[in-house]
Structure 1
Amino acid sequence: MNRRDLIASVAAMTVSLAAPAFAQDEPLKVGFIYVGPVGDGGWTYQHDLGRQAIEAEYGDKVETTFIESVPEGADAERALTQLALAGNKLIFATSFGFMDPVMNVAAKFPDVKFEHATGYKRADNVATYDARFYEGRAVMGTIAGHMTESNKIGYIGSFPIPEVIQGINSSFIHARKVNPDVEMKIVWAYSWFDPAKEADAASALLAEGVDVILQHTDSTAPLAKAQEAGAIGFGQASDMSNFAPSPRVSSIIDNWAPYYVQRVGAVLDGTWESKATWAGINEGEVEIGEITDAVPADVKDAALALKDQIASGEYHPFTGPLNKADGSVWLADGQTATDEELSGMNFYVEGIDAEIPQ
């Protein structure tokens, strides 16, 4: 037996999360669960592009599968179990509400590696990954503050979790930086993907005089309502360019492909480890879609300059002086928020006249 065969033999007899490179005589099976349909044009669509990038990168070294439109809760646990039992050795769970199901199933399948998007719970075989969406929201907020004529900006939230609250605060801070008269109206959809609820939320905001809509939900329904009303909006998670040049005047694009390719590669070469990853504009995980000609040139220049400042690290979207909505000091002049503070954000900044649902 030569040295390579000996190593392979020992590896086959050893159960370890820090396993050697994946056996190349069979494809690595990689599974995904999605909270929405792959054709949602937003969040799930972008994750599925990442899955396709894995196939393009590794060819017959991998075999991918997905289960779409999985509700958060018991259904997610069943879907994850189904993927694990089907022989998937790496499973990506792509919504915040899949967190506890991931932890429960991972405990039952210690030889399977799990990756959970936007969550914070980890284990030896569970890693987490997230994007600094609030960086993109700062850029969108800058455009919104310049473009609003009513000085009323609307925001459709999915669920009142830190990730969404970060986006609301970042959008408002940067809209008000360029327009001190801006007000923000917030409506909660209590869903990541529900076109009917999102359309109703947009209609409610428009009825309050909002002429710019931002969203942290996954469908194009708010853009359709904005189009009917002559308002403007932004692509969310995907470019949503079918609504360009207006009402979609720019977008936040979640580019998961590099992360997925890298993590699959880590399993294949035996370097995968449980860790938390939080990337943003600098890493290319958060992209700013084309700013259309519906936006004046000087506004476009200001937005892109802010994007570059964030990417270079010259500027952090949460830089003091900033107070909380109750008037208490949060960040002193020049002080920036820590990742720990952002990860637990449960308050609005000063100027947002609303209550966070409990």
Structure 2
Amino acid sequence: MNTASILKTLGVATAAACLWAAGPASAQEPLKIGFVYVSPVGEAGWTWQQDLGRKYMEEQLGDKIKTQIVENVPEGADADRVIRDLAQQGNKLIFTTSFGFMNPTIKVARQFPDVKFVHSTGYKTAPNVATTNARFYQARYVAGILAGHKTQTGVVGYVGAYPIPEVLQGINAFTRGLRSVKPDATVRVIMVNSWFDPGKERDAALALLDQGADIVTHHTDSTATVQAAEERGKFAIAYHSDMLKFGPHAQLAAVTHHWGPYFTREAKAVLDGTWKPDQVWGGFKEHMVDLEGFGPAVDDALKAELKTKEDAIADGSLNVFAAPIKTNQGKVVLAEGALDDAGLNAMNYYVEGVVGELSKN
């Protein structure tokens, strides 16, 4: 019996009910997106800021996507397992958000060529692996200017994670900003060899304060450095996210980074089939870094001065690593021009003004 006969026999309403019972064409399944975090999400820090980016992406894309996270994943063999598990669970886009996840990401990507991966802060790519980073050093330079205006002792402490280029860029940019205001000021550094270890970070911050620092900052994930400064009645410049509630008197400002628009763009590209394994490195111009969360010790005039420096970096009229650049051992790194990205990513030295030597390991 043909369709016309059915309509005539059953009536239009009954036929419509039959057609409805067959069900509409199945809606497109949401894009499953996985995130691998090196530390707990917590209430502030690197992973907290990454997770804010994930939530922003969810707000923008709604039911087109479905996300899941795995937090506090050690760098190394366990990362292989976690990344592979996310791929096996059907995630078609996976963000691996720490430098030490680089090799595990590349390894798993070879095994899942139909899955797209985005690795944060690394440099290795593949046909299905993109990389992203923020030009943290730009905001670090401006934070150094802020420190130059506020230090009384001329000594600033810096708690670092590992002596890799990303961390060294921040230390060196901060020092150059500091010394643009206070030419004789120095930066003392303690590396804790961990991205997230609140106990070690606290001990390092207290040791730096004991060495005469009246401002401390950090390139580590927890709030321990800011809290140590608050306890000692000293100043701090937070990193990764605004930590003002952990140091309401101590925090001068926070160097922050913002991943939401980038994450959203990557997910949209996967959804519409235009995704590419790009290498994205954004700073003030791209609104991927900021200096915010100013504490009560920073007045409006100083904020305005800092904003002019941010704008100059964004429009290219101020280059954080313009020549001359010397190491703290007196070696000339660059006599003219400015460091290019290759030079930045090969950074393996401290600049003038940083006290101490880098480990050769």
Q: TM-score, length-normalised on structure 1?
A: 0.91
Alpha-carbon distance, 1:296 to partner: 4.2
* Alignment of 1:61 onto 2:49: no
* Alignment of 1:47 onto 2:50: yes
Identity %: 47
* Alignment of 1:275 onto 2:278: yes
Q: Which amino acid aligns with 1:103?
A: I
Q: Which runs of 5+ in 1 are unaligned?
A: 1-22
Alpha-carbon distance, 1:297 to partner: 4.3
Cα offsets for 1:191-211 (capped at 9, x unmatched):
111111110111110110111
Alpha-carbon distance, 1:352 to partner: 2.1
User: Residues 40 and 219 of structure 1 are in contact (CA less than 8 Å); yes or no, is this contact kept in structure 2?
Assistant: no
User: Residues 131 and 278 of structure 1 are in contact (CA less than 8 Å); yes or no, is this contact kept in structure 2?
Assistant: yes
Equivalent position to 2:228, from 215, 219, 225: 225
* Alignment of 1:353 onto 2:355: yes
**Over the residues paired in the alignment, what is the CA RMSD in angstroms?**
1.4
User: Residues 40 and 218 of structure 1 are in contact (CA less than 8 Å); yes or no, is this contact kept in structure 2?
Assistant: no
Q: Which amino acid aligns with 1:27?
A: P
* Alignment of 1:341 onto 2:343: yes
Distance in 1 separating the partners of 2:305 and 2:181: 10
Runs of 4 or more off by more than 4 Å in structure 1? Answer: none
Distance in 2 separating the partners of 1:114 and 1:297: 42
3-state SS of the aligned residue for 1:130?
A: strand
User: Residues 41 and 71 of structure 2 are in contact (CA less than 8 Å); yes or no, is this contact kept in structure 1?
Assistant: yes
Alpha-carbon distance, 1:331 to partner: 2.1
Q: Which amino acid aligns with 1:341?
A: G
The 5-angstrom pairing of residues 317-328 of structure 1 reads 317-328=320-331
* Alignment of 1:89 onto 2:92: yes
Q: Which runs of 5+ in 2 are unaligned?
A: 1-25
Distance in 2 separating the partners of 1:221 and 1:315: 32
* Aligned equivalent of 1:242: 245
Q: TM-score, length-normalised on structure 2?
A: 0.90
Distance in 1 separating the partners of 2:80 and 2:178: 40
Alpha-carbon distance, 1:291 to partner: 2.6
* Alignment of 1:287 onto 2:284: no
Q: Which has the larger radius of gyration?
A: 2
* Aligned equivalent of 1:104: 107
* Aligned equivalent of 1:29: 32
Q: Which amino acid aligns with 1:301?
A: A
Q: Which amino acid aligns with 1:97?
A: G
Distance in 1 separating the partners of 2:75 and 2:164: 15
* Alignment of 1:117 onto 2:108: no
Alpha-carbon distance, 1:167 to partner: 0.4
Distance in 2 separating the partners of 1:353 and 1:207: 15
3-state SS of the aligned residue for 2:355?
A: coil
Deviates more, 1:297-306 or 1:226-235: 297-306
3-state SS of the aligned residue for 2:217?
A: strand
Alpha-carbon distance, 1:298 to partner: 4.0
Cα offsets for 1:254-281 (capped at 9, x unmatched):
1000100000000001110111100001
Q: How many residues align?
A: 335
Equivalent position to 2:317, from 311, 314, 317: 314
Distance in 2 separating the partners of 1:112 and 1:305: 43
3-state SS of the aligned residue for 2:338?
A: coil
